[in-house]
Amino acid sequence: MNVKSNRRGKWNIVDVLILLFVAIIIMILGYVMLFADGNLLDRVNMKGDTKTVMYTFEVAPIDDDLLVDGTSLPIESGDVLYHLTKKFSLGEVVYVSEKAPYMVLNDQGTELVPSSDKGSFVLRVEAQAVVDDGVYYVNDHVVRIGEQLSFSTPYFTGVCKCVAAEEVTDSE
């Protein structure tokens, strides 16, 4: 007796799952290549030069009990600043400000108001970046002005906002 299978042209659950798995892999690769921050196409097409870039970060208000002597962050020049979630180096800290008062807007305009329990800080970070069409890529990632990010140093973790980015020239 010769029994032939009539399976040809019919789909089963295994075929559907394999097809779905392949489609998901293709979509993930497409997203990484086209839309991810510092995506693969940007890296391949990058034609810019490597420059030294100075980023200015404004650190979110910190409670005084986290400060050294009540006025300084536990960050020093020479510390490396890391992006906490994306795990890449943002560069080397070259300046850390002392605690500054808040800016407060009231009826008379903007004024500086001393704060007894919290203060804001400024960090200046120097990094080597590839410059391509006015966009700075630090370790294949874009750090945008206005972007808020979590960061870490050897002795401190916090939140900051990028407020400026500028190329450093030899004369500075």
Domain ranges of the chain: 11-45, 49-167
The pair phi, psi for residue 50, each rounded to 5°, is: -85, 130
- pTM score, two decimals? 0.60
User: What is the structure's pLDDT at 158?
Assistant: 85
Interval 67-103: pLDDT, tens: 766 667 788 889 998 988 888 888 999 988 876 555 5
Taking CB atoms within 8 Å and a gap of at least 24, the contacts of 79-83 are 79/153, 79/154, 79/155, 80/153, 80/154, 81/57, 81/123, 81/125, 81/151, 81/152, 81/153, 82/151, 82/152, 82/153, 83/141, 83/149, 83/150, 83/151
- What is the band of 172 on the pLDDT scale with cuts at 50, 70, 90? very low
- What is the band of 126 on the pLDDT scale with cuts at 50, 70, 90? very high
